[in-house]
């Protein structure tokens, strides 16, 4: 038996809310970026030392993420099938928003972003970078292309959350008559606030270009970089001698 | 032929109880062996089909609409009467009975009306149990309002959508039975003939309006709940697809048509705008509770208003003639519909009307707004004001509304006895399609009551009585009568398609309507009726020759549907005129100019016309024969109606 | 006034359709939109041509029969109206007006602008009622209902089943229609005994009919002639989830 439409939507809503929860946690932690390399790197290290717990959390997060995507694709396919002959002229009654109409597109962009983001900051060795993870991030953001791409992605995230967040409450029935305007606005504000929070980071990196604190950090070691690496994906980190990273 | 009303003996309060006891019963196990056809899914049809299915009968239910929920009962706005006496204002079954007989101008059958008043209370209980969201007071109990012609508050309502809510209640009950497979529902099927076997109604012929397929259905009894025939006037408050075809086909098969000339003209409709107009819109007469009806005292003032040189708001109080309040001090604006309508016509005939056409009077809320505040009026009538605004592009809050009478309801219909069975055995007729309960004029909020009374609380008993005492062999689809009826329907369809003339169907409908409105409308006289009687056959001939019905019979063909209906309306129109001519008295909605008091009120002639006129079909091109069912009044004294 | 109509013409179900142009000449500005179509059709019929098939009945906005997508808007421009309540004064001289049927897999086109909305009936059949046989009722005032609940039930019950919500929704979802009936009955004490089974059965049928999923964009509410609120959809979701959790 196929799950009912509302059940599918409930999965969307619950996973969406879980992801929003993750975003809020992620954002709170990331604010340490502004405090400097020490605080941030200590936080990162703390997380990395959680071992199994971290892995469990990451697997859980991945599962939630995939479930969210799966429901989205399924619901969208069904929605397309529900109107086999399209209208020639169709106008909005004025209640849908640019954000609500483009959830699939914004979702796809966010997915692409997340893949690159994880590859860039999670699966790139930062131990030998000047300023460690903090340094890796800040050096990346100093690159205008990366910073602007990040900021653009955050706008897309805001767009996605501007509809998604309040929508989840409607789907879960966690509203009541008379609240409609209220929760829609609240969803809009919270969604954009989260996105704006993240937005400030590449902006900070790009504009301020902060340097790691003048402290006794170990001289950069040369990391072995296989010149013949075929994995020539975008933004490949190249470690320079000064312990900074440039992105090819 | 003798028309037997089969009214049981005994005192009027006991008639229905003793009759129910005397009716034979169908054993529960045998009920499922009986098939009953119900045509129509309005209040009467849906409630009948659902209730009979609940009892165990196998029901085939047909509607020409795309869903059972679309029947025109849905458009009733005002409310439904019931003798609950919740307001402690002196209402009782007896008073509702009395008011209905009096309101019907003593041309209804006492026993039927009493039963209607008796079961009225059960209807409200049933509907509330179904979840009909009637208006309530803050204490959670039901709210009532008073309605045209009544001095007690006995009308239950659901905002301005009472008919809708009641119909949805009946529709949901019906859908439940469809789900239980006790009712087989056929939408977009139009009934085009009744099948008679050995003089008994045993089936119908329908046309599938999508595929065009003509099919026959057989059963043990046929119930028609197909509504009224107000669309004979072309312009009426009826829905576009309301028609007389089912009733008329039954009439042609021998069912007598009773009192066809009794039509109700509703006083509070939005005036006609132009030739192109397709229908008239009614505004609930509940508006008359707070609105005051007036026209200017001076013809010149009316003229200035018509030419848009003066605003009605600028007419001072002493320049206004609140003619209903003036002429009927005790009922004022709440006089029955026929009286209110006729008075509006009178002042307009004097040249004091106000719409562009001169056919309109004001319904003014200025004083009510001053008294209760705008919010209260909005809360009570908001949707009606919105509707008025949509149609006329004028605000009823700022400028008095304009109203004019329009055809709204037809009291006449197929003749039925106390069991709601026509003179054709096995053919039952419910709701507006029959003639029985409203006499010559129907009171406001009584149509919903009658439709549901017939469907929920009368037919479930009386159908059993008929089925238990009429054991007839099953009729197959290969029966000669079935084939004959099918062939007749096909021939008729082919004939309509074959004419290929120059004019659209609507042209003939409009012509018929105009003639009926002018000669057989709010006021009728011998000369006009005779003219109409001469003109209608010409119109019929012209229709047959010059109508153009494009398309084929084997697909969805709306022009063909309309053509069949208009053909029947033309025949019905002729009978209405004949009936109006024959009834040389004024009563209720039938106003013969020759029969009026010195003050211009309707004057009955009880000596000669205290009867039901039931017309028997005699064949194409022949005049129907008149049969009279005398009306006796043992419980209500015949008096000249007075609302002074 | 004079306008040009571009009308979806389709001879029968499952046959290809296409747009055809019709001139509508000398239309009185006070005429309603459907009266304009009557005028055009009368002209066509007198020329022996097939008229434009469209559904309409009460012509006062309550029966829910009519429904045309006019210039991309179900029931045309204007708020809280049905097609029959649309007047030609909403258009300008010389306009070209596009007329399309409701488009949804669950509402197959029967002819031109006429669609089959029997899917709605089947959803109601699945449970959109209170199971009470005629004659079983107790006295109407034996069961007081708080005015607020009664009013909210009435707000929901005002749905006319026209299908504009489905037509307006980019996913052809029927959630507003279903939520209106579920809300109407769930808000009333009479509806409590079947409250849980009803919502599950109706949603099951709704899904079977091939309607799309709700994506909470409220386009249905914007086009609903009776302004049924999407708060009912939230209630439907809640009712459904609770029914699934509690039974």
B473 CB-side CA count, 13 A = 6
Angle ∠(B346,B578,B415) on CA atoms, nearest 5: 105
**Residue B436 in contact with residue B416, Cβ under 8 Å?**
yes
Quick one: which H or E segment has residue B388? helix B374-392
Q: What is the pLDDT of residue B148?
A: 66
Catalytic site positions of B = 337
Q: What is the pLDDT of residue A222?
A: 42
Kindly state whether C72 is in contact with chain A, defined as any CB-CB distance less than 8 angstroms. yes
Residue C7: what are its φ and ψ, rounded to 5°?
A: -115, 135
Out of B124, B161, B171, closest to residue C62 by CB = B161
Q: Which tokens sit at C37?
A: 């179509």
For the domain made up of C3-111, give the CATH fold.
Ubiquitin-like (UB roll) (3.10.20)
**Residue B183 in contact with residue B441, Cβ under 8 Å?**
no
Rounded average pLDDT over A100-105? 96
Out of A75, A103, A170, closest to residue C213 by CB = A75
Out of B133, B176, B277, closest to residue C154 by CB = B133
Contacts of C148 in chain B (CB under 8 A): none
Quick one: CATH architecture of B489-608? Up-down Bundle (1.20)
pLDDT digits over A118-134, tens only?
999 988 888 888 889 99
For the domain made up of A5-80+99-215, give the CATH fold.
3 helical TM bundles of succinate and fumarate reductases (1.20.1300)
Q: Which tokens sit at C73?
A: 């808007």
Out of C56, C139, C144, closest to residue B139 by CB = C144
Strand partners of residue B200: B197
Q: Subunits that touch chain A (at least 3 Cβ pairs < 8 angstroms)? A: C
Residue of C129, C136, C192 for testing the chain B interface, max B β-carbons within 10 Å: C129
The number of beta carbons lying within 10 Å of the beta carbon of residue A30 is 16
pLDDT digits over B210-268, tens only?
999 999 999 999 999 999 999 999 999 999 999 999 999 999 999 999 999 999 999 99
Nearest CA to CA, how far is C208 from chain A (Å)? 9
Nearest CA to CA, how far is C84 from chain A (Å)? 19
Tell me how far CA of residue C241 lies from CA of A9, A184, C236, in angstroms: 11, 21, 9
Strand partners of residue B208: B189
**Residue B71 in contact with residue B45, Cβ under 8 Å?**
yes
Q: What is the pLDDT of residue A237?
A: 57
Contacts of B500 in chain C (CB under 8 A): 48
User: Whole-angstrom Cα distance, residue A87 to residue A79?
Assistant: 14
Contacts of B51 in chain C (CB under 8 A): 133-134
**Residue C58 in contact with residue B231, Cβ under 8 Å?**
no
Contacts of B391 in chain C (CB under 8 A): 85, 87
Domain map of chain C by residue range?
Answer: 3-111, 118-246
Out of C35, C65, C116, closest to residue B277 by CB = C35
User: Whole-angstrom Cα distance, residue B501 to residue B550?
Assistant: 10
CB contact under 8 A, B456 and C134: yes
What is the CATH code for C118-246?
1.10.1060.10
Q: Between B634 and B284, whose confidence is greater?
A: B634
Q: What is the pLDDT of residue B382?
A: 85
Kindly state whether C112 is in contact with chain A, defined as any CB-CB distance less than 8 angstroms. no
Contacts of C104 in chain A (CB under 8 A): 82-83
**A248 Cβ partners below 8 Å, 6+ apart?**
A235, A236, A238
**Residue B100 in contact with residue B436, Cβ under 8 Å?**
no
Q: Kind of pairing, strands C3-9 and C96-100?
A: parallel
Q: What is the pLDDT of residue B472?
A: 86
Query: DSSP class of residue C27?
Result: -
User: Whole-angstrom Cα distance, residue B457 to residue B189?
Assistant: 26
Q: What does the DSSP assignment read for B318-334? A: GGEE-HHHHH-TTTGGG
Rounded average pLDDT over C132-143? 96
Q: Subunits that touch chain B (at least 3 Cβ pairs < 8 angstroms)? A: C
**Is it the case that residue A218 has pLDDT exceeding 70?**
no
CB contact under 8 A, A75 and C219: no
**Residue B320 in contact with residue B366, Cβ under 8 Å?**
no
**Residue C127 in contact with residue C202, Cβ under 8 Å?**
yes
Nearest CA to CA, how far is B614 from chain C (Å)? 30
Kindly state whether C178 is in contact with chain B, defined as any CB-CB distance less than 8 angstroms. no
Quick one: which H or E segment has residue B203? strand B200-208
| Residue A239: band (very low, low, confident or very high) from pLDDT cuts 50, 70, 90 | low
Angle ∠(B443,B444,B445) on CA atoms, nearest 5: 115
Q: Which tokens sit at B588?
A: 């209720």
Residue of A17, A72, A83, A184 for testing the chain C interface, max C β-carbons within 10 Å: A83
In B422-512, the DSSP E strands lie at 427-429
Report C:107-136 residues touching B (Cβ under 8 A): 110-111, 114, 116-118, 120-121, 124-136
Tell me how far CA of residue C78 lies from CA of A80, B288, C71, C97, in angstroms: 27, 29, 12, 15
| Residue B149: band (very low, low, confident or very high) from pLDDT cuts 50, 70, 90 | low
Kindly state whether C94 is in contact with chain B, defined as any CB-CB distance less than 8 angstroms. no
The alpha carbon torsion through B512, B518, B519, B525 (nearest 10 deg) reads 180
Rounded average pLDDT over B444-458? 96
The number of beta carbons lying within 10 Å of the beta carbon of residue B465 is 18
B606 CB-side CA count, 13 A = 12
3-state SS assignment for residue B194: strand
Q: Which tokens sit at B49?
A: 């089909």
Kindly state whether C26 is in contact with chain B, defined as any CB-CB distance less than 8 angstroms. no
| Residue B336: band (very low, low, confident or very high) from pLDDT cuts 50, 70, 90 | confident
CB pairs under 8 A between A and C: 140
Residue B282: what are its φ and ψ, rounded to 5°?
A: -90, 145
Q: Between A182 and B576, whose confidence is greater?
A: B576
Rounded average pLDDT over B331-340? 87
Core vs surface per residue C17-41: b (16+ CB within 10 A) or e: beeeebebeebbebbbbbbbbbbbb
The ranges of chain B annotated as CATH 3.90.700.10 are 266-406
CB contact under 8 A, C241 and A94: no
User: Whole-angstrom Cα distance, residue C31 to residue C87?
Assistant: 6
**Is it the case that residue A223 has pLDDT exceeding 70?**
no
User: Whole-angstrom Cα distance, residue B47 to residue B453?
Assistant: 9
Out of C152, C223, C231, closest to residue A175 by CB = C231
Q: Which tokens sit at A44?
A: 């990162």
CATH entry 2.60.120.330 includes domain B266-406? no
Nearest to B251 by CA among B423, B108, B11, B508: B423
pLDDT digits over B74-96, tens only?
999 889 999 999 999 999 999 99
B62 CB-side CA count, 13 A = 27
Chains B and A, touching by 3 or more CB pairs within 8 angstroms: no
The number of beta carbons lying within 10 Å of the beta carbon of residue B379 is 11
Rounded average pLDDT over A19-40? 95
Nearest CA to CA, how far is A197 from chain C (Å)? 26
CB contact under 8 A, C219 and A92: yes
3-state SS, one letter per residue, for chain A: CCCCHHHHHHHHHHHHHHHHHHHHHHHHHHHHHHHCHHHHHHHHHHHHCCCHHHHHHHHHHHHHHHHHHHHHHHHHHHHHHCCCCCCCCCCCCCCCCHHHHCHHHHHHHHHHHHHHHHHHHHCCCCCCCCCHHHHHHHHHHHCHHHHHHHHHHHHHHHHHHHHHHHHHHHHCCCCCCCCHHHHHHHHHHHHHHHHHHHHHHHHHHHHHCCCCCCCCCCCCCCCCCCCCCCCCCCCCEEECCCCCEEEC
pLDDT digits over C172-183, tens only?
999 999 999 999
Contacts of C223 in chain A (CB under 8 A): 93
Residue C109: what are its φ and ψ, rounded to 5°?
A: -70, 130
How large is the ipTM? 0.98
CB pairs under 8 A between B and C: 233
Tell me how far CA of residue C59 lies from CA of B40, B326, B622, C198, in angstroms: 19, 35, 37, 32
């Amino acid at each position: 038996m196929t799950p009912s439409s509302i059940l599918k939507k409930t999965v969307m809503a619950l996973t969406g809310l879980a992801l929003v929860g993750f975003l809020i946690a992620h954002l709170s932690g990331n604010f340490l970026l502004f405090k400097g390399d020490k605080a941030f790197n200590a936080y990162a290290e703390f997380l990395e030392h959680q071992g199994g717990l971290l892995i469990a959390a990451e697997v859980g997060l991945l599962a939630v993420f995939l479930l969210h995507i799966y429901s989205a694709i399924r619901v969208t396919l069904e929605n397309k099938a529900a109107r086999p002959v399209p209208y020639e002229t169709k106008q909005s009654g004025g209640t849908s928003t640019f954000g609500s109409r483009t959830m699939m597109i914004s979702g796809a962009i966010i997915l692409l972003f997340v893949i690159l983001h994880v590859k860039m900051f999670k699966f790139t060795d930062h131990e030998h970078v000047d300023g460690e993870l903090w340094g890796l991030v800040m050096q990346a953001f100093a690159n205008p292309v990366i910073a602007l791409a990040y900021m653009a992605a955050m706008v897309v995230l805001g767009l996605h959350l501007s509809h998604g967040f309040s929508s989840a409450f409607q789907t879960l029935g966690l509203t009541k008559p008379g609240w409609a305007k209220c929760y829609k606005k609240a969803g809009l504000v919270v969604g954009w606030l989260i996105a704006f929070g993240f937005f400030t980071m590449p902006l900070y990196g790009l504009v301020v270009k902060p340097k790691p604190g003048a402290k006794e950090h170990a001289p950069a070691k040369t990391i072995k970089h296989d010149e013949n690496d075929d994995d020539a994906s975008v933004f490949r980190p190249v470690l320079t001698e000064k312990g900074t990273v440039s992105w090819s | 032929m003798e028309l037997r009303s089969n009214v049981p003996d005994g005192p009027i309060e006991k008639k229905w109880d003793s009759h129910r006891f005397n009716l034979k019963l169908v054993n529960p196990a045998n009920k499922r062996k009986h098939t009953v056809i119900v045509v129509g899914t309005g209040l009467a049809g849906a409630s009948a089909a659902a209730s009979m299915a609940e009892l165990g009968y196998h029901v085939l239910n047909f509607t020409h609409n795309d869903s059972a929920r679309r029947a025109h009962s849905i458009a009733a706005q005002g409310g439904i009467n019931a003798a609950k006496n919740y307001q402690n204002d002196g209402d009782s079954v007896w008073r509702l009975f009395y008011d209905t007989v009096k309101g019907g101008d003593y041309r209804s059958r006492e026993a039927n009306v009493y039963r209607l008043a008796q079961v009225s209370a059960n209807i409200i209980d049933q509907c509330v149990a179904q979840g009909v969201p009637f208006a309530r007071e803050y204490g959670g109990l039901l709210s009532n309002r008073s309605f045209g012609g009544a001095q007690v508050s006995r009308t239950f309502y659901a905002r301005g959508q009472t008919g809708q809510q009641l119909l949805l209640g009946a529709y949901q009950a019906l859908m439940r039975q469809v789900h239980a497979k006790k009712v087989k529902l056929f939408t977009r099927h139009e009934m085009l003939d009744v099948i008679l076997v050995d003089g008994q109604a045993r089936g119908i012929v329908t046309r599938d309006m999508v595929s065009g397929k003509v099919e026959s259905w057989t059963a043990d009894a046929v119930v028609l709940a197909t509504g009224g025939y107000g669309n004979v006037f072309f312009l009426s408050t009826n829905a576009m697809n309301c028609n007389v075809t089912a009733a008329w086909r039954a009439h042609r098969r021998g069912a007598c048509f009773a009192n066809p000339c009794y039509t109700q003209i509703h006083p509070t409709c939005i005036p006609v705008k132009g030739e192109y107009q397709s229908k008239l819109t009614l505004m609930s007469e509940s508006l008359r509770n707070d609105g005051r009806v007036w026209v200017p005292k001076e013809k010149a003032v009316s003229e200035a208003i018509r030419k848009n040189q003066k605003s009605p708001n600028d007419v001072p109080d002493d320049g206004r003639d609140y003619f209903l309040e003036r002429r009927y001090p005790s009922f004022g604006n709440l006089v029955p519909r026929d009286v209110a309508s006729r008075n509006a016509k009178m002042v307009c005939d004097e040249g004091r009307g106000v719409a562009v056409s001169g056919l309109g009077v004001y319904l003014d809320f200025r004083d009510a707004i001053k008294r209760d505040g705008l919010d209260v009026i909005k809360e009570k009538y908001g949707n009606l004001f919105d509707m008025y605004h949509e149609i006329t592009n004028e605000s009823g809050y700022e400028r008095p509304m304009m109203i004019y009478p329009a055809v709204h309801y037809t009291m006449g219909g197929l003749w039925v006895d106390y069991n709601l069975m026509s003179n054709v055995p096995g053919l039952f007729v419910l709701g507006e399609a029959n003639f029985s309960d409203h006499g010559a004029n129907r009171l406001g909020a009584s149509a919903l009551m009658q439709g549901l009374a017939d469907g929920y609380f009368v037919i479930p008993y009386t159908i059993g009585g008929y089925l238990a005492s009429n054991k007839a062999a099953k009729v197959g689809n290969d029966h000669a009568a079935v084939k004959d009826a099918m062939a007749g329907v096909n021939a008729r369809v082919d004939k309509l398609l074959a004419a290929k003339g120059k004019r659209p169907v609507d042209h003939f409908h409009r012509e018929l309507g105009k003639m009926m409105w002018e000669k057989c409308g709010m006021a009728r006289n011998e000369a006009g009726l005779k003219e109409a009687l001469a003109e209608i056959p010409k119109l019929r001939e012209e229709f047959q020759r010059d109508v153009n019905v494009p398309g084929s019979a084997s697909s969805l063909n709306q022009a063909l549907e309309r053509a069949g209906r208009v053909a029947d309306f033309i025949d019905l129109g002729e009978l209405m005129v004949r009936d109006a001519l024959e009834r040389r008295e004024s009563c209720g909605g039938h106003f013969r100019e020759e029969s009026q008091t010195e003050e211009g009120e309707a004057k009955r002639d009880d000596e000669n016309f205290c009867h039901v006129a039931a017309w028997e079909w005699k064949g194409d091109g022949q005049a129907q024969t008149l049969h009279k069912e005398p009306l006796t009044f043992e419980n209500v004294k015949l008096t000249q109606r007075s609302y002074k | 006034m004079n306008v040009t109509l571009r009308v979806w013409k389709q001879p029968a179900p499952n046959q290809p359709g296409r747009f055809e142009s019709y001139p509508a000449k000398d239309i009185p500005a006070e005429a309603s939109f459907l009266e304009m179509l009557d005028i055009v059709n009368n002209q066509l019929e007198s020329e022996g041509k097939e008229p434009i098939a469209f559904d309409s009945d009460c012509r006062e906005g309550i029966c829910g029969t009519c429904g045309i997508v006019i210039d991309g808007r179900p029931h045309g421009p204007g708020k809280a109206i049905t097609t029959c309540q649309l007047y030609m004064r909403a258009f300008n001289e010389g306009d070209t007006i596009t007329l399309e049927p409701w488009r949804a897999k669950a509402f197959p086109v029967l002819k031109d602008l006429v669609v089959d909305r029997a899917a709605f009936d089947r959803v109601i059949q699945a449970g959109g009622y209170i199971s009470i046989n005629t004659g079983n009722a107790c006295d109407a005032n034996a069961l007081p209902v708080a005015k607020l609940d009664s009013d909210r039930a009435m707000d929901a019950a005002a749905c006319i089943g026209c299908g504009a919500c489905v037509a307006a929704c980019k996913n052809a979802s029927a959630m507003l229609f279903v939520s209106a009936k579920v809300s109407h009955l769930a808000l009333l004490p009479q509806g409590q005994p079947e409250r849980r089974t009803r919502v599950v059965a109706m949603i099951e049928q709704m899904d079977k009919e091939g309607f799309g999923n709700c994506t909470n964009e409220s386009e249905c509410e914007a086009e609903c002639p009776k302004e049924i609120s999407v708060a009912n959809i939230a209630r439907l979701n809640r009712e459904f989830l609770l029914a699934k959790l509690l039974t």
